[in-house]
Structure 1
Amino acid sequence: MGQDQTAELTWKDGATPVAVRFDDPYFSLQNGLEETRHVFLAGNDLPARLCEGFHVAELGFGTGLNMLALALVAEVPVRFTSFEAYPMAADDIARALDAFPEARAIADPFLDAWASGARQFQLGQLTVEVIEGDARQTLPAWDGEADAWFLDGFSPAKNPELWGEDLMLAVGAHTTPNGTCATYTAAGFVRRALSDAGFEITRIPGYGHKRHMTVGVKQ
């Protein structure tokens, strides 16, 4: 894998990874795990909806924190598919996860698999696949459908390609009837794109300093 396809990082306060390419941190500087629980788990009514065979998909794998938060609450077999253009190195992921002991405590099987180059692995009840490459190409070619989406690209202002109309249409096309999506952003163009993709969109209170976030149900 060429260097141009891997994540280039700086570290804020020695603990929070910041993507050089997008000048944006990978998770909340307040508490990334609690933000994940508020935005992606509660935003998709999880774990209440989890059942055997439930499929969660994600745009933006990053440190794997969202996956780990899901693994902490999944008590039945669940599939998890994530799309990531610029994968982080295993050592950098481990360093970032040290800020979240609860998530780090279950991360070793993931980190061992990741360090070996594996992008399909088992983590507790989760059967995980991380699809590398530009989601604008890889998602339309995907043959799966998700019951819930974690839309977790970098800030739309800094990473607009992961929030464009065509990609949101692909998200909608790969969502089961009454499937859901959740994202930390309330940007108007993102909400409009998701609405055009077939989601009934609602703006709800965000986490921490973020006043609003977005959730949707596929019609």
Structure 2
Amino acid sequence: MTNDQTASIAWRDGKIPVSTQFDDPYFSLGNGLEETRHVFLAGNALPARLCDGFQVAELGFGTGLNMLALALIWQGPGVVRFTSFEAFPMTAADIATALEAFPEAAAIAKPFLTAWETGERRFRLGQIEVEVKIGDARETLADWDGQADAWFLDGFSPAKNPELWGEELMREVGRHTAKGGTFATYTAAGHVRQKLTDAGFAVERTPGFGRKRHMSQGAKP
């Protein structure tokens, strides 16, 4: 079993997990799966770019919803790698409860939940090879030897969780991005866009999901 420091969760309306550490919900109060598809998949021009050996990386694993959305659009041929960085992993039971809101994602989640319950942080989900690195991303990302083709920047709100949007961490994101690689995030905060620009990305502010007017996406030339 794992010795991870688990997330502290409260439930809004009995189905939306809210981090009590950061006072922020784990997914959109509207439709979290559709937001994932709009922000992280479309924002990185996926699935059109996916191919064997493609590397997706993520800040903020949460419920695993982004990983599941990726698995829903990639059945091969070939394997896509998914590496996520998470400081406070949720328990398998809390994740399973959260995913009840998304039957399409929950339907393919069993291999993930089974592995997660036993403390496995490296596992296979269909044609996705997953590794979740537990710990402070400011340390674990610096030690990662990978290069991402696409980033999902999905930490809690920059106002609630500023450490995950700091200048040095955004520079590490840039350093761990392949030439032509991309990022997408739900936040359009000016200071985040500036840090990503400084990290080597050409950054755009684009239409957000639902009530969120704007999001950010970009590419590394």
TM-score between both structures, scaled by the size of structure 2: 0.97
Q: Which one-letter code corresponds to 2:160 in the other structure?
A: K
Once superposed, what is the RMSD of the aligned Cα atoms?
Answer: 0.9
**Aligned residue type for 2:24:** D
Q: Distance in 2 between matches of 1:188 and 1:135?
A: 22
Counterpart residue identity of residue 69, structure 1: A
Identity over aligned pairs, percent: 71
Q: Give 1:95 shift.
A: 0.2
Answer yes or no: is 1:12 the counterpart of 2:8.
Answer: no
Q: CA shift at 1:93, angstroms?
A: 0.1
Q: Deviations over 1:158-194 (max 9, x none)?
A: 0000000000000000000010000000001100000
Cα offset, 1:2, TM superposition = 6.0
100-109 or 70-79, larger mean C-alpha shift: 70-79
The residue number in structure 2 matching 1:192 is: 194
Please list every run of 5 or more consecutive structure 2 residues that lacks an aligned counterpart in the other structure.
none
2:72 is matched by which residue type in structure 1? L
Amino acid corresponding to residue 168 of structure 1 in structure 2: M
Distance 2:21 2:13 in 1: 19
Distance in 2 (alpha carbons) for counterparts of 1:2 and 1:74: 32
Aligned length: 218
**Counterpart check, 1:122 vs 2:127:** no
Which residue of structure 1 lines up, in the alignment, with residue 209 of structure 2? 207
- Structure 1 residues 1-219: aligned runs within 5 Å: 5-76=5-76, 77-219=79-221
CA distance in structure 2 between the partners assigned to 1:118 and 1:138 by the alignment: 17
Question: What letter is aligned with 1:83?
Answer: F
Partner AA of 1:143 in structure 2: D
Q: Deviations over 1:185-209 (max 9, x none)?
A: 0001100000000000000000001
Letter in 1 for 2:125: L
- The letter for the 1-side match of 2:71 is A
Give runs of ≥4 in structure 1 deviating > 6 Å. Answer: none
Q: 1:6, CA displacement in angstroms? A: 1.2
